[in-house]
A = this chain, B = another copy of it.
């Protein structure tokens, strides 16, 4: 499916890992090049700039997150499980070969000036996916209150991701899920 260009794919993979580990700003282009085993001019031929590479990484990553979440929803046994499957997906996404410290999209927004167009587009796409799918999945659980419950869960999912930056990051998803369960149960 993906048209193969060895250098291009290696650049995307190297950049995704390094950007996630260290942040985009703290990752020199040289380091991406070294990890990918590619020459500078090749990177600029494909992506035009470091920002272009970053945008390509974000695109690829949103598609993979979308797929991972969809798979977790499919694997859940009932309506409630499907709504909470976002936490299963968060838990397994990193293990499925998607290196992440907390959240690529929030990190991009946080690391860029407020008016950066690339960052704004990335965080907007991620937010839209979260809000629309949560609303859809909340329907069978909350009926007319689906939009409101989805909005609550969007806050909780965002909070779960942010908790990964605080001490005790390892238990962030478990704690976030507990909060989400309390909200779902109160409907």
Contacts and interface: CB of A to CB of B under 8 A. Distances in A.
A102 interface: yes
Chain copies in complex: 2
B151 A175 contact: yes
A23 interface: yes
Most buried by B among A102, A148, A154, A162: A162
Interface of A: 21-23, 25-26, 101-102, 106-107, 109-114, 120, 123-124, 127, 148, 151-152, 154-163, 165-167, 175-176, 178-179, 182-183, 185-186
Most buried by B among A110, A111, A148, A157: A110
Contact of A123 (B109, B155, B167, B178): B167
Contacts of A167: 120, 123-124, 127
Contact residues of A: prevailing secondary structure: helix
A25 to B, nearest CB: 4
A135 to B, nearest CB: 14
Given A120-B167, A156-B179, 18 more contacts: A21-B114, A23-B111, A26-B111, A26-B112, A107-B110, A109-B166, A110-B111, A123-B167, A151-B175, A151-B178, A152-B182, A154-B163, A155-B163, A155-B175, A155-B179, A158-B158, A162-B162, A186-B186
B22 A165 contact: no
Contacts of A127: 166-167
Given A26-B113, A163-B158, A165-B106, A182 B175 contact: no
Contacts of A156: 155-156, 159, 179
A161 B120 CA distance: 17
